[in-house]
Amino acid sequence: MDASAEKTALPSHDEKHVLEDGHRVSIANGKAVPEKLLKHANDADAALKAFESMEGQALEMTEETRKKLLRKIDWHLMPIMCLVYGLNYLDKTTLSYASVMGLRLPPSENKLRSGINLDGHQYSWLGSMFYFGYIAWEYPTSMLLQRLPLGKYSAFNIIMWGMILACFAAVENYAGAIAIRIFLGVFEAAVTPGFALFTSQWYTVKEQGSRTSIWFSFNGFAQIFGGLVAYGIAKGTRLHGTSLEPWKIIFLLTGLLTSCIGIVFLFIIPDNQLNARWLTKEERVLAVERIRINQQGVGNKHFKLYQLKEALVDPLSWAFFFYALIADIPNGGITNFFSQLIVGFGYTPEESLLYGTPGGAVEIVALIGCGWLGDRYGRRILISMSGLLIAILGMVLIVALPLNMPNGRLAGYYLTQASPTPFVALLSLISSNVAGYTKKTTVAAMYLIGYCAGNIIGPQTFRPSDAPRFVSAEVTIIVCWGVCLCILAFIHFYCVRQNKKKAAIRASEGYVKLENQEWLDLTDKENPEFVYTL
């Protein structure tokens, strides 16, 4: 493909305008173009800068070049994104590990048995407080992700959340723990929307589902790694002693590791293709060209009020929001209480740290499998629903099996770890199915605000009086997942219907596609060329 042929060729304001069927249009290259699209010509996507810098040069995009470039992008982006997202999950579940490592005990001169004296209700609220910070800062941080350099701002947040987490080791009371959890939520709020933007910026729509599933699957790796490390610390300190309480060691270790990885992230991850140090000048242009098919571009720094309004009235935006809200009520409960849930099956606190790790393997297999199959067959939503059905089966086993069958109930817990597959599928669809940079950041913020609200509610469903079975919380989880299946079905059929409408517009007589229309920062609603991924 001759990249120079893709050079910007937008109509200028002094071109001839005529009235056609009552609508103002412009004559460009002998064709009538709707004024609605022309208004975006002077506020196009940053991708056009790449083509302007290569004016007069011809670049060829062969299949071999395409594959080589994709491999280079994968090797530079995916490893560090996977590590960071794994730490993102590990840092949230560290509280669950600490809860059975002495955090909840009263202060004592015995360093191995000293905590900050938390009762059941305080611990539940401590789980929720993270998401109060997250939800309060989610929309502001989404706007900053648009306005500030994406790579640098993301790295800043990663370094800061690691430092905040390490500070938990200095906490001496409930008030201090609340403050740490709130600020932890503030700095982690940028990670998921930022990674969704990175994925849409660098990968085609057919690649986004599997890539999102891969970096999200490192939640499972983190669960395995975190469980083994926590078990090793708990057992080692019990046998050999230590100058620090075990729960403080786990916070220090995970926090400092996160900040170190954040520094590496700063030097590896660029803001976009245009300043990627590990790409040549020609490769930067080709990296932009290869995502032309997305009809989205690589970024626009200007806030556009009309895109915000469109996001707020789009049924798809609210379907995303309500899915995240309802699906993360179970997530908030299980994430903060899984160690105590396993103890309730009849295992010791130390065993709960070790026996929780296979759940991570289930999550890895479910996410990568559903992500690959979804992209392979073009049915990302429907295939992801299988993970939720498996999770429902797992929770039914936990509820239905008696206390004298701990192995069966533990197997049920493992099956529940397949539940994130639709959440990840919808997260990848925010990359694929929402266009217009302001609209995309708004919908991502709505999705994660729903995620936060659900995670705030979730821990409150696990009432201390219900221990060790927590039946009311478990039934609530089953009902929530059943409602989520209905929302997923709506999203699928809505996208099918919108694709049919857009196909009819493109097939209509007199339809004209603007040159470089892909880079005009159009929303998915206003771009007739945009096709929703299913």
Among the candidates 43, 60, 77, a domain finishes at 60
Q: Which two tokens stand for residue 379?
A: 């049915």
* Single-letter residue type at 35: E
Mean pLDDT across 232-252: 80
Q: Which two tokens stand for residue 143?
A: 């706007």
Q: Residue 422 has what pLDDT? A: 94
Of 149-158, 405-414, 437-446, where does the model show the most confidence? 149-158
Q: Residue 2 has what pLDDT? A: 42
Q: Which two tokens stand for residue 32?
A: 């009538």
Q: Residue 62 has what pLDDT? A: 81
Same domain, 164 and 46: no
- pLDDT, tens digit, for every residue of 455-479? 888 888 877 777 767 788 889 999 9
Counting residues of the chain whose pLDDT is more than 70, the rounded percentage is 84
- Collapsed DSSP state (helix, strand, coil) of residue 428: helix
- Tell me, yes or no, whether 405 lies in a domain: yes
* DSSP conformational letter for 520: S
Positive or negative, the CA dihedral 426, 429, 435, 438 is: positive
In this predicted structure, the answer to whether residue 499 has a pLDDT above a threshold of 80 is yes
32 burial via Cβ count (<10 Å: 0-12, 13-18, 19+): middle
- Tell me, yes or no, whether 463 lies in a domain: yes
In 345-470, which ranges are continuous DSSP H helix?
349-355, 358-377, 380-400, 406-416, 420-433, 437-457
Binned at pLDDT 50, 70 and 90, residue 335 comes out as confident
Give the DSSP H/E element, type plus range, for residue 382.
helix 380-400
- Tell me, yes or no, whether 528 lies in a domain: no
- Collapsed DSSP state (helix, strand, coil) of residue 334: helix
Peptide bond into 459 cis (omega under 30): no
Rounded distance between C-alpha atoms, residue 486 and residue 420, angstroms: 16
Give the DSSP H/E element, type plus range, for residue 27.
strand 23-28
Same domain, 152 and 283: yes
Q: Which two tokens stand for residue 93?
A: 């579940």
Of 127-136, 316-325, 373-382, 405-414, where does the model show the most confidence? 316-325
Same domain, 39 and 164: no
Same domain, 182 and 46: no
The C-alpha angle with vertex 480 and arms to 476 and 486, in degrees rounded to 5, equals: 150
Please name the residue that has the structure tokens 């099918």.
Answer: 496
Same domain, 166 and 262: yes
Rounded distance between C-alpha atoms, residue 149 and residue 301, angstroms: 9
- Tell me, yes or no, whether 230 lies in a domain: yes
Contact 9, 516 (CB under 8 A): yes
Q: Where is pLDDT greater, at 301 or 198? A: 198
Backbone angles phi and psi of 2, in degrees to 5 = -85, 105
The mean pLDDT value of the chain amounts to 82
Q: Which two tokens stand for residue 111?
A: 């360093």
- Tell me, yes or no, whether 519 lies in a domain: no
In this predicted structure, the answer to whether residue 317 has a pLDDT above a threshold of 80 is yes
Rounded distance between C-alpha atoms, residue 419 and residue 233, angstroms: 29
- pLDDT, tens digit, for every residue of 28-87? 343 444 555 555 555 555 555 655 555 545 566 788 888 899 999 999 999 999 999 999
Q: Per-residue DSSP letters for 93-127?
A: HHHHHHHTTTTTSPP-SSGGG------HHHHHHHH
Rounded distance between C-alpha atoms, residue 131 and residue 477, angstroms: 19
Q: 376-413: string of b/e by CB count within 10 Å (b at 16+)?
A: eeebbbbbbbbbbebbbebbbbbbebeeeebeebbbbb
Same domain, 125 and 149: yes
Same domain, 55 and 200: no
Q: Which two tokens stand for residue 261?
A: 């990885």
Backbone angles phi and psi of 27, in degrees to 5 = -95, 110
Rounded distance between C-alpha atoms, residue 92 and residue 78, angstroms: 21
- Tell me, yes or no, whether 524 lies in a domain: no
Q: What CATH number is given to the structural domain containing 461? A: 1.20.1250.20
Backbone angles phi and psi of 270, in degrees to 5 = -80, 175
Same domain, 8 and 135: no
Q: Where is pLDDT greater, at 95 or 51? A: 95
Binned at pLDDT 50, 70 and 90, residue 349 comes out as confident
Taking CA atoms, 218 is separated from 22, 151, 309, 367, 482, in Å, by 55, 20, 35, 10, 26
Contact 234, 350 (CB under 8 A): yes
Residue numbers of the domain that contains 411: 63-503
Backbone angles phi and psi of 25, in degrees to 5 = -135, 170
CA-based nearest residue to 208, from 438, 380, 59: 380
How many domains would you assign to the chain?
2
- Collapsed DSSP state (helix, strand, coil) of residue 60: strand
- Tell me, yes or no, whether 486 lies in a domain: yes
CA-based nearest residue to 421, from 476, 462, 377, 481: 481
| Chain centroid, CA 449 distance in Å | 12
Of 96-100, 108-112, 323-327, where does the model show the most confidence? 323-327
Rounded-to-10 torsion of CA 188, 194, 195, 196: 120
Rounded distance between C-alpha atoms, residue 461 and residue 395, angstroms: 15
Contact 442, 308 (CB under 8 A): yes
Sheet of 31-34: strand order equals 17-20, 23-28, 31-34
The C-alpha angle with vertex 182 and arms to 480 and 450, in degrees rounded to 5, equals: 30
Same domain, 192 and 83: yes
- pLDDT, tens digit, for every residue of 284-307? 888 888 887 776 666 566 788 888
Among the candidates 40, 60, 80, a domain finishes at 60
- Tell me, yes or no, whether 284 lies in a domain: yes
Strand pairing category for 23-28 and 31-34? antiparallel
- Collapsed DSSP state (helix, strand, coil) of residue 18: strand
Same domain, 239 and 349: yes
Q: Which residues pair with 20 in a beta bridge?
A: 23
Contact 477, 395 (CB under 8 A): yes
Same domain, 97 and 41: no
Same domain, 419 and 347: yes
